[in-house]
Amino acid sequence: MDGDNPDALPATIVCVDCGGTCHRVLPPMEGGDRPGDVVAYRCEDCLDRWDLIAGDPDELDDP
Ligand SMILES: [Zn+2]
């Protein structure tokens, strides 16, 4: 990540359930993630799916 997009989500996250690695199901769109984008992750260990929302959720309430 080059750090110029503070709303971008990482390529992987740590699974809350098993501590494994969850990979993005889809790569970021061109231009990166935008606030409010829903990004799905799939755990490689337990195959659970996790959805994260890009950006700060608190900011989404302000138009
Ligand atoms: Zn897992």
Residue-range domain boundaries for the chain = 12-57
pLDDT value of position 58: 66
Measured in angstroms, how far is the CA atom of residue 39 from the centroid of ligand 1? 16
Q: Is the pLDDT of residue 62 over 70?
A: no
* Interval 45-49 mean pLDDT: 98
Pairing of strands 21-24, 12-14: antiparallel
More confident residue, 35 or 59: 35
Measured in angstroms, how far is the CA atom of residue 27 from the centroid of ligand 1? 20
Measured in angstroms, how far is the CA atom of residue 28 from the centroid of ligand 1? 22
Confidence of residue 31 (pLDDT cuts 50, 70, 90): confident
Cα-based distances in Å from 43 to 32, 34, 49: 22, 23, 6
* Interval 33-49 mean pLDDT: 95
